[in-house]
Chains A and B, each alone.
Chain A
Amino acid sequence: MPDYTSIEELVTLAQKQQISLGKLVLADQSAQLEITQEALLHTIDQRLTVMEEAARNGLREDIRSTSGLTGGDGWRMYTYEQNALSGPFCAKAVAIALAVAEHNAAMGRIVASPTAGSCGILPGAILPMMALHGVSRQDACLALLCAGGIGLVIAQKATISGAEGGCQAECGAAAAMASAALVELCGGSPRQCAHAVAIALKNQLGLVCDPVAGLVEVPCIKRNAGGVMCAITAADMALAGIQSVIPADEVVQAMGEVGASLPCSLRETAQGGLAATPTGLRLAEQIFGTR
């Protein structure tokens, strides 16, 4: 039984049993939750449905957040998809990541994965795999469980809270989780999943949490787009056989330490970074009438 304190342990167990990380997490977590594997898969399938609904509802031209600050960017990206420099898969991933994050800001129903602020990244990775690469629902659910196993290790060995570790702990963790899910969906090995996790998290290391007016909108929504692109790049590198020099567990450790050493002003307090720019301060005043 893994205790989710090491990605290396998950990889070794999966290799020994010759199964994917998703199947390892399915067997272990259904036992932990004292439910059947079918029941756990069914719950994950329902959450996948919530992700699909969030993407659909978020892809509207007229969607606006409660504050009025954001909305419509997912739709703009979606209508531009065919011309995208990065190709249709990446463009769809970005459109969905933006749409789900905008749906969240508009008080829509989402799956916090791992958090509400980073809720666009996993749907951004998984849903285009279903739409463009013929991935089945069953495999998509297993990939979400694979991502969940990685997220459990990050939560236990570092943090998934922006207030504790900055945005690297939310969008960084989500990007790492999504990269493992993508590697698994493309037939990569558990070892390659771990390399993708390490590469994705390394590229988000140090990212601060500096929301304008303290709201989960600017820059959070666009950081979901950046996070899913980071996950795709890391997954491609790992599938190409590129290895992370620093092992995944050590990257997770480093992320936790970087988070702890971030000043309070850059950990979800809206007192530094983009929140403290002239435009950030002006928007805060406009929305709440105070600075």
Chain B
Amino acid sequence: MNVLDIIGPVMIGPSSSHTAGACRIGYISRSLLAQEPLEALIDLTGSFAKTYRGHGTDRAIVAGILGMQPDDPRLPNSLEIAREQGLRYQFRTVAMPRVHPNTAVIRLTGQDGTSVEIEAASIGGGNVLVTRLNGMESAFAGQCDTLIIPHRDTPGVIATVSQILSFSGANIGNFKLTRPAKGRLAMMTIELDSAVPQETIHALRALPNVENVVYLHANPEENGHA
């Protein structure tokens, strides 16, 4: 934490958790889709579901899906902008037991039919935590560069991935493995202290047993001097 977290961030009101954090969740879902979204289905639960209209949580999430940051002055008009740009969105309020009270589930579909689904919570002060990704348990905040690597659960995959990352000079700040069943599809979530070059991502994608590599760049605003 530094002085710019206290005299800041700059954000569209009224609530750091219900507006700024909600926008960030939308932004992360778009980054994970990595293309222009055509359709968004958004489930809100808990306090999000109860108060979203008064806090503009719906506009904040759609703004994030459209690629806006929490301080974007267009955020309050995001629903109109979405209609102009041809993004179809639908909000539902649902009961979700055993999740953080400010939780949203966003399903995005892109132009080529690719889709992504995240469950994320706004945990206070504009900070968020992605708790599920495409049905698999996860845990990342999107504040540092993050790699999400679905892979076949086979011996040596994790070692090879971390070796390639170490050759590129990247330091792993956090590592999480999700493995619903032995030998099946698993997922690595790797938070990095610095950016990694594109050729490293290509090298990781070329590995046997690696299904895909999603590179989520740190939120530019998080660097503290936006």
Interface residues of A (CB under 8 A from B): 25, 29, 32-33, 35, 39-40, 43-44, 46-47, 50, 65-67, 103-117, 119, 122, 144-145, 147-149, 151-152, 155-156, 160-161, 163, 177, 213-217, 287-288, 290
Contact = CB atoms under 8 A, between A and B. Distances in A.
Nearest to A147: B7
A109 B1 contact: no
Secondary structure of the A contact surface, majority rule: helix
Interface residues of B, number: 36
Contacts of A107: 12-14, 19, 56, 59, 75-76
Q: Taking each of B7, B47, B56, which has the highest tally of chain A beta carbons within 10 Å of its own beta carbon?
A: B7
Given A155-B5, A217-B14, 19 more contacts: A29-B4, A33-B2, A33-B225, A46-B10, A106-B13, A107-B14, A109-B11, A109-B12, A111-B8, A112-B10, A112-B20, A116-B20, A152-B6, A160-B6, A161-B124, A163-B124, A214-B50, A216-B13, A290-B50
B7 A144 contact: yes
B202 interface: no
B4 A288 contact: no
A107 B225 CA distance: 23
A108 B54 contact: no
A33 B14 contact: no
16 contacts: A25-B3, A67-B54, A104-B14, A107-B13, A107-B14, A111-B11, A112-B11, A113-B7, A145-B3, A148-B4, A151-B7, A152-B3, A160-B6, A177-B6, A216-B14, A288-B53
- For the complex of A and B, 6 pairs with smallest distance between CB atoms: A104-B13, A148-B3, A151-B6, A216-B14, A107-B76, A67-B54
Secondary structure of the B contact surface, majority rule: mixed
B110 interface: no
Contact of A116 (B2, B3, B5, B16): B16
A43 B2 CA distance: 13
Contacts of A114: 6-7
Interface string B9-32: 111111110011000000000000
Contacts, number: 137
Nearest to B73: A109
Nearest to B223: A33
B90 to A, nearest CB: 20
Interface of B: 1-16, 19-20, 47, 50-51, 53-56, 59, 71, 73, 75-76, 124-126, 224-226
Given A107-B14, A112-B8, A288 B54 contact: yes
Nearest to A151: B6
A110 B16 CA distance: 11
Contacts of A35: 225
Given A33-B225, A214-B50, A110 B11 contact: yes
